[in-house]
C-alpha cells in the first residue's frame, strides 16, 4: 500500500482503546497530519468508540490497572521516572481518577485540547472521523449516540477503501 520513497499523503489511524491514554496519540497524530497538509482519517473501533459517544467522550480516564508504563507519570508527582508504579495500585478506588486529574492538568499546561475540542479541530481542518459498524452493533449504539463530528459509520472493508491510495499509511495506535 505504501512506497517508502513516496511522501506521506494520507494517514489513517485506528483507535481501539477508549482510555485517555489510548485516544490521545491518534488525535495528536491526526491533528499534526492536518497541520502538515496530510489527509487524515481516524477509525474508532471497539472501546475506542468511547471517544465518539457524546455521553462518554468528555469523561475518558487514564488506564491504571495493568498499565506497566505508568512510571512515565512519576515526575508529575515529583518522583523519579525510574520509580515503578505497582500495577496493583491501579485497582485502588480513586487512583484512576487521580491519574486522570494529573494527566489533564499537565495537558492543560501544554495547551493540549480536551477530546471534544480535538475532534472539532480535526473535523474543521478536513480530517475524517469514523466509527466502526461492527463495534457499533456489538455495543448497541446508534448514529445519534455519536458526536455530530463523526463523518460516518464504516465497515472494515469501507475503512480499507478509505485508506487506499498512493502515499497512504495505516497506523494502529
pLDDT tens digits for 30-39?
999 999 999 9
**Locus of grid cell 473501533:** 45
Give, for 14, the enclosing helix (H) or strand (E).
strand 10-15
pTM of this prediction? Answer: 0.88
Three cell numbers, residue 122? 480535526
Within the chain, all domains assigned CATH 3.40.1260.10 are found at 7-58+114-173
Q: Which CATH architecture has domain 7-58+114-173?
A: 3-Layer(aba) Sandwich (3.40)
pLDDT tens for each residue of 9-33: 999 999 999 999 999 999 999 999 9
Alpha-carbon span 153 to 173, nearest angstrom = 19
For residues 101-118, average pLDDT: 93
Instruction: Evaluate if residue 91 carries a pLDDT over 90.
Output: no
Alpha-carbon span 17 to 58, nearest angstrom = 15
Q: What are the φ and ψ backbone dihedral angles of 90, each rounded to 5 degrees? A: -60, -20
DSSP 143-160: GGGB-TT--EEE-HHHHH
Alpha-carbon span 155 to 164, nearest angstrom = 14
Q: How confident is the model at residue 4 (pLDDT cuts 50, 70, 90)?
A: low
Amino acid at each position: 500500500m505504501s512506497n517508502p520513497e513516496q511522501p506521506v499523503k494520507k494517514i489513517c489511524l485506528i483507535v481501539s482503546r477508549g482510555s485517555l491514554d489510548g485516544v490521545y496519540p491518534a488525535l495528536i497524530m491526526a491533528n499534526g497530519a492536518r497541520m502538515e497538509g496530510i489527509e487524515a482519517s481516524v477509525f474508532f473501533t471497539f472501546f475506542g468508540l468511547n471517544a465518539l459517544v457524546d455521553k462518554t467522550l468528555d469523561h475518558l480516564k487514564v488506564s491504571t490497572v495493568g498499565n506497566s508504563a505508568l512510571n512515565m507519570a512519576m515526575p508529575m508527582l515529583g518522583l523519579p521516572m525510574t520509580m515503578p508504579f505497582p500495577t496493583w495500585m491501579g485497582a485502588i478506588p480513586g487512583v484512576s481518577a487521580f491519574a486522570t486529574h494529573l494527566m489533564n492538568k499537565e495537558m492543560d499546561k501544554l495547551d493540549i485540547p480536551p477530546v471534544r475540542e480535538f475532534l472539532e479541530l480535526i473535523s474543521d481542518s478536513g480530517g475524517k472521523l469514523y466509527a466502526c459498524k461492527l463495534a457499533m452493533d456489538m455495543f448497541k449504539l446508534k448514529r445519534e449516540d455519536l458526536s455530530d463530528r463523526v463523518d460516518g459509520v464504516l465497515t472494515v472493508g469501507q475503512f480499507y477503501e478509505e485508506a487506499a491510495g498512493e502515499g497512504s499509511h495505516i497506523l494502529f495506535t
